[in-house]
């Protein structure tokens, strides 16, 4: 039998994912600043693209939080 869909902690999980993603963005930016002269243009571009995807994910998480909150009302 399938487990019931317990969504009571979804907002907390989504907020945690936002915080983790934001921390990863900050760490990547710090890394790029500290090692700008040591990394290739390809690696720099790859890390910048990864941060862009993280920012897009954060927007998705925020949208999901809004949906979760509106579903509770």
pLDDT digits (tens, 9 = 90+) for 22-55: 999 999 999 999 998 999 999 999 999 999 999 9
In a domain, 13, yes or no: no
Residue 27 lies in a domain: no
> Is 55 a domain residue?
yes
How much is the pLDDT for 73?
A: 72
* Number of domains forming the structure of the chain: 1
Domain of 67, in residue numbers = 44-73
Residue 22 lies in a domain: no
User: With 90 as the cut, is the pLDDT of residue 4 above it?
Assistant: no
Task: Evaluate whether residue 10 is within a structural domain.
Answer: no
* pTM for the full predicted model: 0.84
3 in a structural domain: no
d(CA 3, CA 51): 35
Q: Is residue 24 part of a domain?
A: no
- Band of pLDDT at residue 2, cut at 50, 70 and 90: low
């Amino acid at each position: 039998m399938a487990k019931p869909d317990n969504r009571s902690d979804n907002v907390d999980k989504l907020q945690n994912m936002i915080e983790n993603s934001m921390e990863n963005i900050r760490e990547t930016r710090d890394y790029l600043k500290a090692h700008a002269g040591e990394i290739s243009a390809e690696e720099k571009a790859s890390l910048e693209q990864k941060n862009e995807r993280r920012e897009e994910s954060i927007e998705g998480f925020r949208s999901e939080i809004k949906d979760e909150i509106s579903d509770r009302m």
